[in-house]
Amino acid sequence: MLFGGGNEFLGDKGLLPDWIADTNKGGAEGVVDGAGNEGAPNSDNSGAKGEEGKNVDQPDATAPQQAETDAPAATTLPASGEGDGNAVSDGEAVTMSFVGDMLPGEYLYPLMKQHGFDYPYRNALLYLSEPDITAGNLELPITLGGTPIEGTPYVYKGHPEVLPSIKDAGFDVLSLANNHAMDQGAEGMLDTIRYLKEADLGYMGTGSNDKEAFEPHYVEAKGLRVAFVGLSRVIPYTELKADRHTPGIAETYDTTRAVAAIKHAEENADLVVVMAHWGEDLADKPVDYQKSNARTYIDAGADLVIGAHPHVLQGFEMYKGKWIAYSLGNFIFSAYPKGTGAETGILDASCNKKGDCELKFNPMIVIQGQPTPLEGDAAATLLDRLTSISFGARLEQDGRLVAQ
């Protein structure tokens, strides 16, 4: 998690747990390809940086607040299947909900200061608060200090005052494994962990060494223990990868340590969820390594793979009975997104102890920084588009995923 010197990825087995020490090789192999730092995609934000290499104006903090909307009531995914996909038996399912990238600050900060820090979550509150566990990707360090990283076009920073509203909205777990985790250096990363602990929010994906960064976060619900593993395939600089003496990010350029972490999680939990930061900005289909890595994670023991980073929605796929969501897009990020950058949603999962999961996607659109549920033709259009970019899977009109 810390920004530190050194680029040693072989480590000393005597100082690492067996599941890291036995595989602590190859983590630094190859070159980190691309900074992976991005602005607000497809956005007409007025204050932030927009598409890569472009600047747009700062969001207008005095923009009129969105009109009241009659958002449909959230529905809990039933515990029993309907014959397609994985059926989940009654009485033994844990319910989880997932969102994509979360940037509670920066482009949204003026609106949050004007309308309250809970402002971004209001229209989606029931969807976030009803599940047993809710998780997302925190796309910025939370710190009052830190040293901005140099050489990347977009450097983010959030204030700890935003965290209580995230907790109150229903979030339990936040992955820190992403390309902005070290935007404010070692101090910013350590502050993020400290503030998350104080807010009673779980986290994974960064640490003061690779043991901490790859360590799963565990949550118990409905008598089941769920492990969350955070991994990133998008890291600005090689030295930001966590290693024996190097604080940083749990990387997955080489999947060796990721596989070890997943196997370690499987031995200590009933269910394993991998949250991966990967892919290309604004691409609505996964690149080859996303597909191959997802399969590797599932072969290692993952029951569910949830992706983020492209800033747009990508499709779904089932592999060996396990679901992959390649990208959940941006949940809260830009104040005034447009096009596919405004499309978002909340993915519900109901999973049993055997690792069988039923999924349902609740389609939404971001209006003035607020993810807002879609209904009728608008919802059907987005669900049909997701079907068109999925692989051997379709989304029913109620958002339920079905393997074809």
Write out the two tokens for 370: 């607020």
pLDDT value of position 144: 98
Task: Report residues of the chain scoring pLDDT below 50.
Answer: 1-73, 75-76, 78-84, 90
In the prediction, which pLDDT does 305 show?
99
Which domains does the chain carry?
93-375 (3.60.21.10)
Instruction: At 373, list the tokens.
Output: 């549920």
Pairing, β 322-325 against β 304-308: parallel
Q: What is the pLDDT of residue 48?
A: 35
CB atoms within 10 A of CB 291: 16
* Residue 233, pLDDT score: 98
pLDDT tens digits for range 337-366: 999 999 999 999 999 999 999 999 999 999
Distance CA 1, CA 249 (A): 6
pLDDT of residue 62: 31
pLDDT of residue 92: 82
Q: What is the 3-state secondary structure (H, E, C) of the chain?
A: CCCCCCCCCCCCHHHCCHHHHCCCCCCCCCCCCCCCCCCCCCECCCEEECCCCCEEEECCCCCCCCCCCCCCCCCCCCCCCCCCCCCCCCCCCEEEEEEEEECCCHHHHHHHHHHCCCHHHHHHHHHHHCCCEEEEEECCCECCCCCCCCCCCCCCCECHHHHHHHHHHCCCEEECCCCCCCCCHHHHHHHHHHHHHHCCCEEECEECCHHHHHCCEEEEECCEEEEEEEEECCCCCHHHECECCECEECECCCCHHHHHHHHHHHHHCCEEEEEEECCCCCCCCCCHHHHHHHHHHHHHCCCEEEEECCCCECCEEEECCEEEECCECEEECCCCECHHHHEEEEEEEEECCCCCEEEEEEEEEEECCEEEECCHHHHHHHHHHHHHCCECEEECCCCEEEEC
pTM for the whole thing?
A: 0.83
The pLDDT value recorded for residue 1 is 24
pLDDT given for residue 87 in this prediction: 55
